[in-house]
Amino acid sequence: MRARESSDSLPAWGSVLCALALAIIPLPSLISAFRPDWVVLVVIYWSLMTPGRLGLFSAFFLGLLLDTLSGALLGQHALALLVVSYVVQRFHLRIRVFPIWQMSMTVLALLAIYQFLLFWVDGVAGRTVTTAERWAPVMIGAALWPFLLLLLENIREDVSARV
């Protein structure tokens, strides 16, 4: 069990770094509003599979990094990620055995919570953006979930088989 844990940390941090880079990679302005929340998806995966590895504190720190990178209010993404990570860790045993479509629905709900928290903080801080596009990343993220799950599972199997 321990060996499995330590072999997870490389893919975990690797995927997190990739997600951070994907979150700020420039896209044409036409589609940049549809960018899926990569960091949240990756955090959901790792809080689901190895809750002890990428815990609340990591989610908090990643959120702060995201705040810095996106120039948002410090703590905004951190709070949203924290809530998502908490919910996943609280119910990870139940979510883990869901069939894939049900898992996607759960991810949809989690992403919606995440976007809503960002939206809410924006509103309180007085820079409300009320376009329908804001909710597009939620749909896209949930649609991407099965593929991401497959990909990360494969990577994790590979790495732990090699160690």
Residues that bind other proteins (CB under 8 A): 1, 4-5, 17, 20-21, 24-27, 29, 32-33, 35, 50-53, 55-57, 60, 63-65, 67-76, 78-79, 82-83, 86, 89-93, 121, 125, 127, 129, 131
Length of the chain: 163
Instruction: List all residues 6 or more positions away from 109 whose beta carbon is below 8 Å from its beta carbon.
Output: none
Q: Which residue has the tokens 């909710």?
A: 135
Query: Residue 58 or residue 104: which is nearer to other proteins going by CB?
Result: 58
Query: Residue 48 or residue 149: which is nearer to other proteins going by CB?
Result: 48
Query: Residue 73 or residue 155: which is nearer to other proteins going by CB?
Result: 73
Q: How far is the CB of 22 from other proteins (least distance, A)?
A: 9
Q: How far is the CB of 58 from other proteins (least distance, A)?
A: 11
Query: Residue 5 or residue 158: which is nearer to other proteins going by CB?
Result: 5
C-alpha span between 49 and 60 (Å, rounded):
18
Q: How far is the CB of 128 from other proteins (least distance, A)?
A: 10
Instruction: List all residues 6 or more positions away from 98 whose beta carbon is below 8 Å from its beta carbon.
Output: 106
Q: Tell me the CA distances in angstroms from 30 to 133, 135, 139, 161, one per residue in order.
A: 11, 15, 17, 42
Query: Residue 82 or residue 152: which is nearer to other proteins going by CB?
Result: 82
Instruction: List all residues 6 or more positions away from 149 whose beta carbon is below 8 Å from its beta carbon.
Output: 45, 100, 103
Q: How far is the CB of 45 from other proteins (least distance, A)?
A: 14
Q: How far is the CB of 85 from other proteins (least distance, A)?
A: 8
Written as six digits, the tokens of 98 are: 């869901």
